[in-house]
Amino acid sequence: MQRILDEAVEYARNFLHQGKPASYIPELAKADPSLLGAAIVETNGSTYFSGDFEKSFTIQSISKPIALILSLKDNSENFVFSRVGMEPTGDAFNSIIKLETEESSKPLNPMINAGAIAIDSFIKGKTPDEKFNRLLKFFRQLSHNPDLTYDHDVYRSEDETGFRNRALANFIEDAGILLGDVEEVLELYFKQCSIKVCCKDIAIIAAVLASNGLSPFTNNRICERHYTRLVKTFMVTCGMYDASGEFAVKVGLPAKSGVAGGIMATVPDRMGIGVYSPNLDVKGNSIAGMKVLEYLSTRLDLSIF
Ligand code: GLN
């Protein structure tokens, strides 16, 4: 396995010159585009690492399936899905168009920004700090990393330039979908996106999803089986945004990408995979990261289809 992972990373190095880091969040544009790392955590606890696997980056949208689980724990499934839908959009992750053209103004799914912001507004807590601390605690449990924290500079950068996310949040507030104060919900969303992780952390979270909620190291239950099934389904249909169809054909795994360059992929009953490389394609997915996953999927016959 170690040799195959190293081969996948070497293969993906050929694509490092393509694309560029996200720049609409100024702090992310500073990333070193030569970075490339990958981690595999098998459901039996075996781990394999390659390249810059310990380099930290902000989790960004990879946080969305995790926040969804917490939101589902806090509310009934009926409540959550009466306000956020279950359908892919075919639009960019931060698109506003369907909110106005769809009849209900309900965000189409929890993996796009509008849906994820709504999902955050359902998370329980007396104060904004309590809500974020509950979320962070859950991320720490899933990643088995008690030291996870958020990156202040990226958080500030997102907050200062988050005009489009503010527009989305205000739109769903106006439509009666968002709960609570718009600015407080955005603070929670931006902090959540700014949580710092490395490939190893997201591979461990993916391994928990792969084993339907059990820890790969202790076998203890960390998350309800039903919720892991739900989020894996969203990852297949919407996890790579408007590239989800092509990714399903080429890689065939539930996966979630983030604009800092991370991708978390899960191979049911077998392993979690975390990859990182900052250069993105036009849809906001890490180019070299997808190449690592393509290589692994082909070489190890990982596709679920
Ligand atoms: N924080 C980012 C945003 O809201 C997350 C987007 C992403 O990773 N695709 O724009």
Query: For ligand 1, what atom is nearest to the CA of residue 193?
Result: 1
| pLDDT tier at 97, thresholds 50, 70, 90 | confident
Tell me whether the CATH fold assigned to 2-57+198-300 matches the one assigned to 61-193. Answer: yes
Render pLDDT for 150-194 as a digit per residue (tens, 0 to 9).
999 999 999 999 999 999 999 999 999 999 999 999 999 999 999
* CA proximity to 183, closest of 121, 136, 141: 121
Q: What is the mean pLDDT of the chain?
A: 96
Catalytic residues: 61, 64, 189, 241, 259
Instruction: Please state the pTM of the whole predicted model.
Output: 0.97
Residue 157, pLDDT score: 97
E strands along the chain, which residues? 37-42, 47-51, 57-58, 196-197, 255-257, 262-267, 271-276
The pLDDT of residue 48 is above 90: yes
Q: Is the CB of 150 under 6 A from ligand 1?
A: no
Residue 99, pLDDT score: 86
Residue 89, pLDDT score: 85
Residue 281, pLDDT score: 97
Class of domain 61-193: alpha beta
| pLDDT tier at 297, thresholds 50, 70, 90 | very high
Q: Is the CB of 93 under 6 A from ligand 1?
A: yes
3 state SS of 11: helix
Give the pLDDT mean for 132-156.
98
The residue to mutate among 60, 95, 257, having the most atoms of ligand 1 within 8 angstroms of its beta carbon, is: 60
| pLDDT tier at 196, thresholds 50, 70, 90 | very high
The span from the CA of 85 to the CA of 66, in Å, is: 17
Class of domain 2-57+198-300: alpha beta
Sequence spans of domains, the chain: 2-57+198-300, 61-193
Q: Is the CB of 94 under 6 A from ligand 1?
A: yes
3 state SS of 264: strand
- Structural tokens at position 294: 């393509």
271 has which bridge partners?
Answer: 42, 267
3 state SS of 89: coil
Question: Per-residue DSSP letters for 93-157?
Answer: TT--HHHHHSTT---S-TTSHHHHHHHHHT---SSHHHHHHHHHHHHHHHHT-TT--B-HHHHHH
Decide: residue 86, CB within 10 A, 0-12 exposed, 13-18 middle, 19+ buried: middle
The span from the CA of 303 to the CA of 294, in Å, is: 10
Render pLDDT for 212-258 as a digit per residue (tens, 0 to 9).
999 999 999 999 999 999 999 999 999 998 999 999 999 999 999 99
Is residue 139 within 8 Å of 148, Cβ to Cβ? yes
Give the pLDDT mean for 94-117.
89
